[in-house]
Structure 1
Amino acid sequence: MALQVRPYCDELEDIVKELSHKAWILFKYNQDFGHQIMSCVFNEDDQLVGVGYLRHGIADDHDIFEIEMPTNEFASNRMNEVREALFPYFIKTCHKLRKLNKKTKLVAWNDFWGDRTFCERIGFSPYQTYYIAKRSLDKPLPEVSAPAGVQVMFNPMESKEERVKYTKLENQFYQGVVYRSVNMLEWMMGGPELHTVSAFDGDELVGSVMCWQTGAVERLFVIPRWRNKGLGKLLISKAFEYHTKNGRYEVDTIVNEQNKEAMLLLEKMGYFFPVRLELKSVDI
């Protein structure tokens, strides 16, 4: 018998939660996924072996849907079958959610979970390249002075208006698979730890960075008129201080290889780039 694919429903909540806490919590609490489809893959013994769903991104001239396909030990010898079973559902979901006036790309990391041949056979080709950047916090933290006229502080974003403004500004600097909605931001803020450090010129948000309990330092941005004044370095150093105070010994982030300015800034702040990730895409 072949693997069977069924749509997610409330009765499957507990077994999906066991397989992937992230998938379960996304579909339970993030409003972006209220209209989404999660496909659940079962083997001949009616055991859940994997789930598949898409994350929406956006770029200037096209929409992006990123494949998520968590699996468990029951799928270890049948990954190609899981891919074959889920791929038609990914295509179906793309057609359901895509905007008809824009091009659409389906994208995947790691050669669709480790099978370059499968990716190439169904038409995937290189799209973007990223690096995982790391830095040890055992190394001395840099001394960075605050530029005159700016205040840097924890940003709780307590009101809906603040969260909407933050998301609109942030997304001017991040397009593609790292696009973020207000729903996504609010979902993350409901988790155990998201610490946002922001810079303000009076009441105006001019830069920011986010910290996670995993040691991540991510989503750094500085508006153009405040660049080349040391503000990016200051925000990163404040993130380092936060993680150090919370007992972490290493920080990491993901950076697009095309963003040479960000790569250089991270290098100056003591990061190295041990892992190169290739994102592949196919046009829908």
Structure 2
Amino acid sequence: MKDFVIRNPKDEDVEKFEKLDFVLKMLYLYHGDFDKRNMFCAVNGEDELLAVAHLMKHGTFNAAGHDGDPDFIRYLNYEITFAKHVEDEAVKAALTDALIRRSREIKAENPEKRIVMAQYIDTDNLKELSYFLARGFTIHDTIVVFKFDLSRDIPRYPLPEDVRVVPFALNNSEALEKYHQAELASFDGVARSMNHLGWMQGGPEMTNFCAFSGEQLIGNTSTWKVTEERSVTENVFVIPDWQKKGVARNMICTALTHLKQQGKTIATLGTHGTNRKAISLYTQIGYELYGFRLTIGYEIE
């Protein structure tokens, strides 16, 4: 396709976004971290939307405590969405170039940071992987995806004394801050932004199962809908002082029980392939291997 241009979005594009992907419209309108400079639209001569690409800062981008580590990667996640799911190679190449140029501008504003523009691609999507590898992208991480068959019995694990696991809505600034601080402590300074936490709460069938010791939030497992049959048990963490005490096991199984009661048949989650502790935990609970995803990225010089 030759007759197209790449430009940043306009407010009048909003309804066009919905035809591509409703989430794009919501992202544009309501995500507090959204920056128009990080979104690019491919439009034809009639200003019809052909595809949209955008960047979002991953939790690693502003991670605390890693400024002295030159090898610590700050990810800029990106997505490209095509109208009618029909990809045009010229449009894809132009949007990829636009994303890289914008990433270089962000790098210029943060010269001390090691920045990688990245997305997640399933290992069986060889065409997509080949496309980006040929453009100079490399594989930065392997995500192991596990599944739990909800037709089977869900194990039960006791909690430490005075610890409780309850559904917890992140619907106010105090709740968001409690969650944010616990996530920072659990992931060595890496956490989703407050804006992104609030944004996630609008997801379909989103429920947070949080562990509390008194008023302190000490852990979490979240669930949300993928399909009518499948949901996830993600965002699993426990702060260091409460790890290895059965809290994570109880939270995950509480979430699994909830999904089973909702009529789901499968629950999935992902973890880094190098995370031996998490892999051991999930397989002991009863999760089985479901597949792999790759973090494929372009290092910004």
Rounded Cα–Cα distance in structure 1 between residues aligned with 2:130 and 2:202: 40
> Which residue identity does 2:54 align to in structure 1?
Y
Q: Does 1:222 align with 2:231?
A: no
Distance 1:200 1:74, change over 3 A: closer
Cross-structure match for 1:160: 173
TM-score scaled to structure 2, two decimals? Answer: 0.85
> Which residue identity does 1:211 align to in structure 2?
T
Rounded Cα–Cα distance in structure 1 between residues aligned with 2:121 and 2:188: 20
Cross-structure match for 2:92: 83
Shift of 1:17: 0.9
Range that drifts further, 65-74 or 26-35: 65-74
Distance 1:175 1:194, change over 3 A: farther
Asked if structure 1 preserves the Cα contact closer than 8 Å seen for 2:186 and 2:240, the reply is: no
Shift of 1:74: 6.3
> Which residue identity does 2:127 align to in structure 1?
G
Q: In angstroms, what is the RMSD of aligned CA positions? A: 2.4
**Equivalent residue for 1:116, pick from 112, 126, 129:** 129
Cross-structure match for 2:290: 274
Range that drifts further, 194-203 or 2-11: 2-11
Rounded Cα–Cα distance in structure 2 between residues aligned with 1:113 and 1:72: 22
Asked if structure 2 preserves the Cα contact closer than 8 Å seen for 1:55 and 1:66, the reply is: yes
Shift of 1:227: 1.7
Rounded Cα–Cα distance in structure 1 between residues aligned with 2:294 and 2:171: 37
**Equivalent residue for 1:197, pick from 196, 209, 217:** 209
Paired residue total: 281
Rounded Cα–Cα distance in structure 2 between residues aligned with 1:260 and 1:266: 10
Q: Does 1:68 align with 2:79?
A: yes
Shift of 1:170: 1.1
Tell me, what secondary structure is at the counterpart of 1:110?
Answer: strand
Q: Does 1:132 align with 2:132?
A: no
| Structure 1 unaligned residues grouped into runs of 5+ | none
Shift of 1:241: 1.4
**Equivalent residue for 2:117, pick from 83, 106, 116:** 106
Shift of 1:279: 1.2
**Equivalent residue for 2:158, pick from 122, 145, 148:** 145
| Structure 2 unaligned residues grouped into runs of 5+ | 67-71
Distance 1:11 1:45, change over 3 A: closer
**Equivalent residue for 1:244, pick from 260, 263, 268:** 260
Distance 1:283 1:24, change over 3 A: same
Asked if structure 1 preserves the Cα contact closer than 8 Å seen for 2:8 and 2:36, the reply is: no
The superposition leaves residues 165-210 of structure 1 with CA deviations (integer Å, 9 ceiling, x where unpaired) of 312321444489x951110111122344321111111121111111
The superposition leaves residues 79-104 of structure 1 with CA deviations (integer Å, 9 ceiling, x where unpaired) of x2222111221123213434232111
> Which residue identity does 2:83 align to in structure 1?
N
Tell me, what secondary structure is at the counterpart of 2:82?
Answer: coil
Shift of 1:68: 0.6
Tell me, what secondary structure is at the counterpart of 2:81?
Answer: coil
TM-score scaled to structure 1, two decimals? Answer: 0.90
Rounded Cα–Cα distance in structure 2 between residues aligned with 1:2 and 1:175: 48
Range that drifts further, 55-64 or 181-190: 55-64
Shift of 1:44: 5.7
Rounded Cα–Cα distance in structure 2 between residues aligned with 1:86 and 1:38: 10
Distance 1:40 1:161, change over 3 A: same
Asked if structure 2 preserves the Cα contact closer than 8 Å seen for 1:3 and 1:81, the reply is: no
Distance 1:108 1:137, change over 3 A: same
Cross-structure match for 1:8: 9
Distance 1:27 1:174, change over 3 A: farther
